[in-house]
Amino acid sequence: MKSLSNHQQLQRFLIASHFTRGNLVIYFFLILSLFSILMVGVLGIDKENKTLFPQEAIVRFEIFDFNYYKISPLGVEIFAYGKIGRENKKQENELEDFNINHYLFDTHTQETLHSHFALYDNNTINFPQGVYYIRNDTQFWSQRATYTPSLKELLGNGDFIIASNTYRIKGKNITYKDNKISANTIKGILITDKE
């Protein structure tokens, strides 16, 4: 009888340990489920204000040492290159240390524009740190300027200089509109062939 009772004890022990292991697995998954629900609740609270990377801080594009070509049926019309191009938080395109070379096929002339920094908002180009422009033998510099491509209108703010082989003009607040240049406080030097 003793052997039966030992056998029964062993059977009870095995059954008890089996239920205990089964209970541990159930408890483990129950605790894991509760923990998952708790984490979803905690992380979901005020999700918009506690994002790691707010939408405003994410730049849609940023390029380095870029080249841009606009090709027309007659050939390369525009060639632009620069150090950095990116979109800022106001959805303006920032361009740093860039040059634009534009070839006009109808007049066989080339225009060159250079600026250390510009902002383009899809309507106007703002040059807060100055702009250089060269066409044929004419060179232009403005301390600050805003250009509207759709109107072909340039509003310079501050000092400007226009120079060529035959003249040198200085002034303040230049305006180029309807193929006419006007400005405030103009001073100029005209060079002639006569000695």
Q: What is the pLDDT of residue 33?
A: 85
Cα-based angle 131, 62, 121 (whole degrees, multiple of 5): 50
Of these ranges, 3-17, 43-57, 92-106, the one predicted with the greatest mean pLDDT is 92-106
Q: Is the pLDDT of residue 15 over 70?
A: no
25 phi, psi to nearest 5 deg: -65, -45
Q: Is the pLDDT of residue 134 over 50?
A: yes
pLDDT digits 0-9 by tens, 20-31? 556 777 777 888
pLDDT digits 0-9 by tens, 64-89? 998 989 898 888 888 889 999 988 88
pLDDT digits 0-9 by tens, 92-131? 889 999 888 888 888 888 888 899 999 988 888 899 999 9
Q: Is the pLDDT of residue 36 over 80?
A: yes
What's the Rg (C-alpha) of the chain? 37
Whether 108 contacts 95, CB under 8 Å: no
Q: What is the pLDDT of residue 10?
A: 60
Position with higher pLDDT, 38 vs 130: 130
What value does the mean pLDDT take over residues 28-38? 83
Asked whether the whole model's pTM tops 0.75, one would answer no
